[in-house]
Amino acid sequence: MSSTLNVNTMAELMAKGEKPEVLFWVGCAGSFDDRAKKITRAFVKILNSVGVNFAILGTEESCTGDPAKRAGNEFLFQMQAMTNIQVMNAYEVKKIVTTCPHCFNTLKNEYPGLGGDYEVLHHSQFLQKLMEEGKLKIEGGEFKGKKISFHDPCYLGRGNGEYEAPRALLEQLDAELVELKRCKSKGLCCGAGGAQMFKEAEPGAKEVNIERMEDVVEASLNIVAVGCPFCMTMMTDGVKNKEKEETLKVYDLAELIAEGNGL
């Protein structure tokens, strides 16, 4: 379905003397990775359908510095952080939502010490709030009879203790929600964290995403739901490796909701 997205940048709103209620931090994956861009678009469709007053930084957004920090380059991380904080503080940003748990963690936990204090929400938390406020109605009819599990992203789950928001959303779909063998605080990493996304894995017996995909295959799911663009890449690769593309799909939470609501 083709649709025009209604997206303002902070700069555009400022020129009109306006301020959005929330900044949508798109993140590098959400901006450039072809698969992750679909997540970004799906999330914006939901925001548009609910009528959320949001804006993006657009070309003024730059990497949070998370992969640099996790790769040991604290200098680059702090340079990126200070730059982003200057931009966001100039726009008097108060609240941020992001579809990437890595951006979420960095903005929420590591920016305050460098002068950037914001209320930061992962999109699962943001959407859960919209749902609880009655603004977002999730229609899950088309998922009837489908078996779905949520793969916990480390930086949202173990890293920040958020296990419930994604599940609260998925419960609204008319699907059969099951847990993977290893879930929540015991959830197995997809293999991409700590800057592993940008390098080959160290030598070993198996790739981490294949180990994880075996949990998914064992659960004989139709859909594995993710909440992180890196998990998306790793799980999608895992599905290909197991040659399950026909029967097993990987979707982000936002995509499932947008799809269910016919957006």
Residues 221-260 that bind another protein (CB under 8 A): none
Whole-number Å distance between alpha carbons of 198 and 260 = 33
Residue type, 139: E
Q: For another protein, which is the closer residue by CB, 121 or 131?
A: 121
The secondary structure element, H or E, covering residue 183 is none
* Binders of another protein in range 177-196 (CB under 8 A): 185-186, 188-189, 191-196
Q: For another protein, which is the closer residue by CB, 185 or 241?
A: 185
Q: For another protein, which is the closer residue by CB, 34 or 243?
A: 34
* Cα 197-203-205 angle, rounded to 5 deg: 105
Number of shown-chain residues binding another protein (CB under 8 A): 74
Burial class (CB in 10 A: 0-12, 13-18, 19+), 51: exposed
Q: For another protein, which is the closer residue by CB, 20 or 65?
A: 65
* Binders of another protein in range 9-38 (CB under 8 A): 9, 26, 28, 30-33, 37-38
Beta carbon of residue 46, minimum distance to another protein (angstroms, whole number) = 15
Whole-number Å distance between alpha carbons of 168 and 177 = 11
Beta carbon of residue 17, minimum distance to another protein (angstroms, whole number) = 21
89 binds another protein (CB under 8 A): no
User: Which sign, positive or negative, has the C-alpha torsion 25, 31, 33, 38?
Assistant: positive
